Amino acid sequence: MLDITGDHISKLSDEDLRILVIKLCEAELRRFNLPLSAVTAGGHQNAADGGIDVRVELPNSSSDLDFIPKSITGFQVKQEDMPPSAIRLEMCPKKKLRSSIYDLASKRGAYVIVSGKGSTTDSALKNRRCAMQNAISDFPQGASLTTDFYDRDRLARWIKNYPGVALWLREQIGEPLTGWRPYGNWAYGDSTNSEYLLDNKCRIIAPQQTNSSAPLTVEQGIQAIRQILEKTHGIVRLVGLSGTGKTRLVQALFDAKIGNDALDQSVVIYVDQGSDQPPTPSARDMIHRCAANGLRTIVVVDNCNPAMHRDLAQTIITSGNQVSLITVEYDVSDDEPEETQVFRLEPASEKIIEEILQCLKPNVSQTDRTRIAEFSGGNARIALSLARTVEHSDSLATLNDTELFRRLFSQRQNDSEALMKAAEVCSLVYSFDGETIEGVAAELSVLAELVNVTPKELYRQIGELRSRDLIQQRSKWRALLPHAIANRLARQALEKIHLQILTNTFYPSGRERLLKSFSRRLGYLHNSEQAKQIAEMWLDSGGILENPACLNELGIDMFINVAPLAPNAALKAIEMAASSDEGKTFLSSSNYERWKWCNLIRSIAYETQYFSRAALLLARIVANETGSQNHNSARDSFKELFHLYLSGTHALVEARLAVVQQLLESEDKKLNACGLTALTEMLKNFHFTSSHDFTFGGRHRDFGWEPKTGIEVSTWFRAVIALAMTYVNSNSSHTPDIKQLFAQYFRGLWVNAGVCTELEELAKDFAAKEGWPDGWLAIREIIHFDLTRMSPQFAQRTRALEIMLRPKDDLEQKTRAYVLSNKQGYFCIADTEPVGNDTSHEQAWERANKIVEDLGEEVASTSDVLTSLLPELLSSNNNMIWQFGHGLAKGASNIELLWRQFHHSLITLPENKRNYSLLRGFIEAANTRDPAVVSQLMDKALKDPVLSPVFPILQSSYPIDEAGAKRLILSIAQGDAPTLTYSHLMYGMVSDSIPLPFFREILVGIASLPNGYPVAIDVFKMRLHSLQSNKIPVDSDTSLLGRELLKLNEFQDGSSNHAYHVNEVAVACMVGDAASQDATTICTKLARALVDYRSDTMQYSELIRTLFRLQPIVAIEAFLNKNGIEKTNSHRQKSLFYYFSYDHESPVNAALPEKLMTWAKENPEIRLPRLAEEIHLFAKNGEHDSPSWSPIALEILESAPDRSVILDIFAFRFRPRGAWSGSLADNLSPYLVLAEKLQTHNDPLVASWAKKQIDLLNKEISEEYKRSRRIDESFE
């Protein structure tokens, strides 16, 4: 397809060959980010050129270039062949070296002769190069000149790097790829070199809008899209109404005159899915081919519907290699495909429309241009269509909108009422099947019935509308566009057709697609009373959409489509569904469609009158979620409604706080949590983002209310602070959470929000009551990160606040601040002491640890403070607790006495509140101070009813010696400690010191506990990790222990993390002949687990590969010899490839082919077919080579006693099983290549089979392409 050969080059004219060399030089310079201005070329091909047609002169040496040999290179381009005799005449006319070539030699440059018809063998090429060298050998500095000869085949190889240039060449020789075009005039009614008119209007909505960057001007949008597409695998979708200039904007991405870093024209290829002729190859296939050949390509797919975009994006993700993708579509729905940056282009400003008309329709007067721009609504297509109706001495200035629309519709042709009726009925649906006229689902017949004409007559009228550029076609599908015209026509149609007749026409079975399309059109007609009536009829009691909880996929889509017409009725219906018997399921995360309802509710919340109801409804949905739920969650939709920016609502701060208050005062604790969440979001003052689509049918929508001035910002936060403080002052149950929120957001509020006075007042209030350690640390954070950027006055004010909140000298306040605070920042703690210039994280961490440890040492000697704080210390999860425990151990006058005090306090705490970090830090430091005492404490802890359940955690607080190992063995025997507590043996290398015999007994014991095997494997894996980290080889005893653990595996646990660790153990311990016997046990157990479906095969794929790689003989016998398995299993054993089809290969391939074939040839009738089910069919060629048979596949075929059996297996494997990614046609195509390679086989049986497979595969691929095209070409 994109492969260019020398034959293609030979068909170019002289002039086109020279242009080709220019394009290739420019492409190579772009590829290496070098200036295009370095390329110069002469005038006409036949003009005198001094021996140089194309010259490259770079300012600096560039040794990394490819086909341009030197920084200064001259190309002499000749279409005719250049034998050695002609070369000397060309370089030295009249036996004198051309001055241009002499100049190249003096600059140590290069001279290249390009021949379009020459095709040289190696010897001929050497002769031509020698002729070039001989021509300069007699001249001074001739040795400094690099010379070369490019024949047509060499040029073809150069072109292969640049798909855009390849397409251009095909066009020049009259052999274009159907539907595919290089960079050029893609946009409607424009020329390639026309100036792109930049619009200062902010009209590009970028993905993940933030308050600092939305929306974008056209130039900013172009730069943002360029940054994505210049990276491989970059995927962009550009949407916007028809006629807004999307295609022209894409064209501008490659225009160096606009902005910086224009995209490379030589690597872009363009296809319009809306064209009459289907592209060959398909866009999907083109991406696959470019990826397979490693071509840097930017693929532009115009008129690409959402389904096709998702398919192409998946193709890029899975096999895109060097390919980037941008798709263009007029659909502006809220579809946001994964891995895609979606940009939306809004209509242009009237000024730009006038400038476009001035460029393209200069005959239209300024007055008429202004009137057309005003009427067009920023739609260039409408403006140009209307401008074409203007004749000399004609004027549009005095026409009203209705007259202008009539004129736009008639386009200086007969103003047919029948044609108007046809357009109106076609506009009632978003798109329709314009070809099928028979059957209950024939959409032409349905539409014709509404206007009392025959389907054939309507078909004829549609053809006329298409000739006027009012109907667009994709395969059999038609759509009336642009939307501005379609919406107006649809409103007219609704006024003329009885609504009951209209709706009844779309209801019959078989017309569901048309009914959905009708509902989609209605969604854009919010200014039509008739459309509103239909929506309310559907949504009200007794309507087809009355109960959202019972709707199928069609009903949900219709509901969402018409909700913009009747938002109150839609919200009411959702509220009733949420309160109905089905409500719990409707709101539950198990409802796959819930995200659609959440997005809709948020869209309805845009208007102030619906905000409270919508927000409370979203809160109910969030309240039904678990705290850790992220998938299908309503949390983001709810939270963003309370943002200062990008909220998607025009509800003011008072309305939002009213919802917060209602939630906080609810008797439902989950709704209280939603209230705190909303309050949290209202305190945020930076880093706002939103993934929400802000469109809502045809209604004008922005990003919601946002402050325009600093005063409005401070007013917002004053109101939020005031409400929050009412709960604090009333000593509400929410007070601790609210105080923590203030500390969490204090920095941003103090620096950016303009509410310093309010913050000082609340800080003073908190400090006076019981201190505010979290607030003090927040101020310390500000001083550390922001003080140097403050004015002297503001810095002094900040320091004064820090002094006011600073903990007093008493130990309790300091401990609460340093150790028990919810705000954990070691920089803040470290900075309470004088520091030098070094502020590295490591040193700050060390300083903080020292401060906390010293504090603990001091508290240890102050019993009343310690007694008061112990319950909090033993339940806190602050990361400084461990270090505080160190200090307590160092300062304790009696370690055992203090330990008993810990124990007494611990008993008073509920089990779910206990945290053992203090005890562990204490034990670690105490062991350094007095190991004998700690040993006694551990002995007692093992027998203690409170501590024995957590004994493994305590014992793992310091390196474990033989005594500690014996305690762990006793702990396992006692059975008091839950299995997971033994996982602490993994951390801190504490188990490395356990003698191996005891370590074995511990691990075997853990493995015997309920769910203990994964823990035992994890602990052993960390022992291996320590050995590897210290570069110590795994000794035989450790390896033996690893194999013993592997033999204990019953392969019941299918978690990926566990399976990963099991495989890591196997990699380290299954090496060599010593492991052979154990490998037999492990392989047999795993094979039986597979056929019994006891094991999740997906998780153990790497383990089986490891076994085939390290113990191939054993693995082959266990997994491929059916007899051993089937004796003990009633199930028929399937191939390993069956179990691992998702992975596209069998683990068998990890074994060496020689080992596999040796085994198979011992019993070829049985084993060769068995092996044929498993091995790679494809050879592992270079990344860009065409598919070929693997050597082992061919050897199996040649060695088989009955080749037909092997061929049947191969044919079966040609078709993908289960799920596959991308197009079925693309999956089948490589197998077609394999079949083609066997059609000349010397065995007639094989050749006949190959031809049959070729026919079958070609038929399947053709049918799949047809099916894909039907999907790709739809408008919806």
At 2 the pLDDT is 75
Given 1126, 1141, 1156, which residue is the final one in a domain?
Answer: 1141
| φ, ψ dihedrals at 855, nearest 5° | -65, -45
Q: Is residue 638 domain-resident?
A: no
Distance between CA atoms of residues 597 and 617, nearest Å: 11
Range of the domain at 84: 6-163
At 1144 the pLDDT is 66
CA angle 580, 585, 587 (to 5 degrees): 85
At 43 the pLDDT is 55
Which 8-state DSSP code applies to residue 1051?
S
Q: Does residue 337 have a pLDDT over 70?
A: no
Distance between CA atoms of residues 94 and 73, nearest Å: 24
At 123 the pLDDT is 85
At 835 the pLDDT is 43
Contacts of 372 (CB under 8 A, 6+ apart): 353, 357, 364, 383, 386, 387, 396, 404
The two counts, helices (H) then strands (E), for the chain are 60, 17
**Does 430 share its domain with 467?**
yes
Strand 323-329 to strand 235-239: parallel, antiparallel, or no bridges (unpaired)?
parallel
Q: Does residue 1124 have a pLDDT over 50?
A: no
At 1125 the pLDDT is 43
CA-wise closest residue to 1101 among 1158, 1146, 1040: 1146
Q: Which amino acid is at 385?
A: S
At 206 the pLDDT is 80
CA distance readout (Å), 497 to 367, 755, 1230:
38, 60, 55
Cβ proximity of 1216 and 1227 under 8 Å: yes
At 834 the pLDDT is 38
**pLDDT per position as a tens digit, 126-160:** 999 999 999 888 887 888 899 999 999 999 999 98
Q: Which amino acid is at 804?
A: M
Strand order in the sheet with 110-115: 39-41, 54-57, 72-78, 110-115, 146-150
Quick one: pLDDT band at residue 1181, thresholds 50, 70, 90? low
**pLDDT per position as a tens digit, 849-898:** 899 999 999 999 998 999 999 999 999 988 899 999 999 999 999 999 99
Helix (H, G, I), strand (E, B) or coil at 1268: helix
Tell me the CB-side half-sphere exposure of residue 1182, using CA atoms within 13 A. 4
Cβ proximity of 716 and 681 under 8 Å: no
At 62 the pLDDT is 62
Only one residue has tokens 């895109």, namely: 320
Report the number of distinct structural domains present in the chain. Answer: 8
**pLDDT per position as a tens digit, 158-194:** 998 899 999 999 999 999 998 999 999 898 655 556 7
CA-wise closest residue to 872 among 898, 908, 830: 908
Distance between CA atoms of residues 250 and 426, nearest Å: 30
Q: Is residue 736 domain-resident?
A: no
Cβ proximity of 844 and 824 under 8 Å: no
Tell me the CB-side half-sphere exposure of residue 264, using CA atoms within 13 A. 31
Q: Is residue 588 domain-resident?
A: no
Tell me: cis bond preceding 931? Omega within 30 of 0 counts: no
**Does 195 share its domain with 221?**
yes
Q: Does residue 1055 have a pLDDT over 90?
A: no
E strand segments, 151-200: 180-181
Q: Is residue 112 domain-resident?
A: yes
Strand 235-239 to strand 341-345: parallel, antiparallel, or no bridges (unpaired)?
parallel
Distance between CA atoms of residues 840 and 320, nearest Å: 42
**Does 1236 share its domain with 1131?**
no
Helix (H, G, I), strand (E, B) or coil at 1184: coil
Cβ proximity of 207 and 335 under 8 Å: no
**Does 1020 share its domain with 875?**
no
**Does 214 share its domain with 320?**
yes
Average pLDDT score over residue span 1155-1175: 94
Q: Does residue 941 have a pLDDT over 50?
A: yes
**pLDDT per position as a tens digit, 364-400:** 888 888 888 888 888 888 888 888 888 766 777 777 8
Other CB atoms closer than 10 Å to residue 1036's CB: what's the count?
11
Give the tokens for residue 150: 């490019």
Q: Is residue 584 domain-resident?
A: no
Cβ proximity of 1061 and 1017 under 8 Å: yes
Average pLDDT score over residue span 782-792: 90
Quick one: pLDDT band at residue 1128, thresholds 50, 70, 90? very low
Other CB atoms closer than 10 Å to residue 110's CB: what's the count?
21
At 1153 the pLDDT is 95
**Euclidean distance between the first and final Cα of the chain, in Å?**
30
Cβ proximity of 1254 and 1228 under 8 Å: no
Computed from CA positions of residues 492, 496, 497, 500, in that sequence, does the dihedral angle turn out positive or negative? positive
Average pLDDT score over residue span 60-83: 87
Distance between CA atoms of residues 832 and 834, nearest Å: 7
Q: Which amino acid is at 453?
A: V
Distance between CA atoms of residues 455 and 242, nearest Å: 27
Give the tokens for residue 140: 């001074």
CA-wise closest residue to 509 among 459, 575, 440, 594: 440
Cβ proximity of 977 and 950 under 8 Å: yes
Quick one: pLDDT band at residue 1130, thresholds 50, 70, 90? very low
Q: What does the radius of gyration of the chain's CA atoms come to, in whole angstroms?
A: 38
Q: What is the CATH number of the domain that holds 431?
A: 1.10.10
| φ, ψ dihedrals at 1233, nearest 5° | -65, -40
Helix (H, G, I), strand (E, B) or coil at 258: coil
**Does 149 share its domain with 221?**
no
Only one residue has tokens 């500690």, namely: 964
At 861 the pLDDT is 92
Largest Cα separation within the chain, whole Å, is 111
Strand 432-433 to strand 297-302: parallel, antiparallel, or no bridges (unpaired)?
unpaired
At 1182 the pLDDT is 52
**Does 263 share its domain with 339?**
yes
Q: Is residue 1228 domain-resident?
A: yes
Q: Cα-Cα-Cα-Cα dihedral of 700, 706, 709, 714, to 10°?
A: 160
CA-wise closest residue to 521 among 552, 557, 490, 475: 490
**Does 301 share its domain with 156?**
no
**pLDDT per position as a tens digit, 6-40:** 999 999 999 999 999 999 999 999 888 888 889 99
Quick one: pLDDT band at residue 833, thresholds 50, 70, 90? very low
Q: Is residue 404 domain-resident?
A: yes
CA distance readout (Å), 743 to 736, 796, 807, 827:
11, 20, 15, 16
Cβ proximity of 166 and 160 under 8 Å: yes
CA angle 27, 275, 341 (to 5 degrees): 60
Distance between CA atoms of residues 447 and 426, nearest Å: 7
Contacts of 969 (CB under 8 A, 6+ apart): 998, 1001, 1002, 1005
Q: Does residue 1161 have a pLDDT over 90?
A: yes
**pLDDT per position as a tens digit, 681-728:** 999 988 888 878 888 988 888 899 999 999 999 999 999 999 999 999
**pLDDT per position as a tens digit, 601-630:** 999 999 999 999 999 999 999 998 876 666
**Does 467 share its domain with 422?**
yes
At 294 the pLDDT is 82
Distance between CA atoms of residues 601 and 649, nearest Å: 11
Given 864, 894, 929, which residue is the final one in a domain?
Answer: 929
Burial of 748 (0-12, 13-18, 19+ CB in 10 A): middle
Q: 1275 versus 660: which is more confidently predicted?
A: 660
Q: Does residue 551 have a pLDDT over 90?
A: yes
Q: Does residue 328 have a pLDDT over 60?
A: yes
Q: Does residue 1173 have a pLDDT over 60?
A: yes
Quick one: pLDDT band at residue 543, thresholds 50, 70, 90? very high
Cβ proximity of 300 and 273 under 8 Å: no
**pLDDT per position as a tens digit, 470-520:** 888 888 899 998 888 899 999 999 999 998 899 889 988 889 999 999 999
**pLDDT per position as a tens digit, 1069-1123:** 999 999 999 999 999 999 888 877 765 656 888 999 999 999 999 999 998 886 5
**Does 1210 share its domain with 1122?**
no
Given 875, 907, 929, which residue is the final one in a domain?
Answer: 929
Q: Is residue 1176 domain-resident?
A: yes
Specify the long-range contacts of residues 732-739, CB closer than 8 Å, at least 24 apart. 732/664, 734/664, 734/672, 734/675, 734/676, 737/676, 738/676, 738/679, 739/766, 739/772, 739/774, 739/775
**Does 825 share its domain with 910?**
yes
- Residues linked to residue 111 through DSSP beta bridges, in sequence order: 74, 147
**Does 190 share its domain with 329?**
yes
Cβ proximity of 148 and 125 under 8 Å: no
Other CB atoms closer than 10 Å to residue 898's CB: what's the count?
19
Contacts of 517 (CB under 8 A, 6+ apart): 429, 430, 431, 432, 1276
Q: What does pLDDT average to over the chain?
A: 88
At 368 the pLDDT is 87
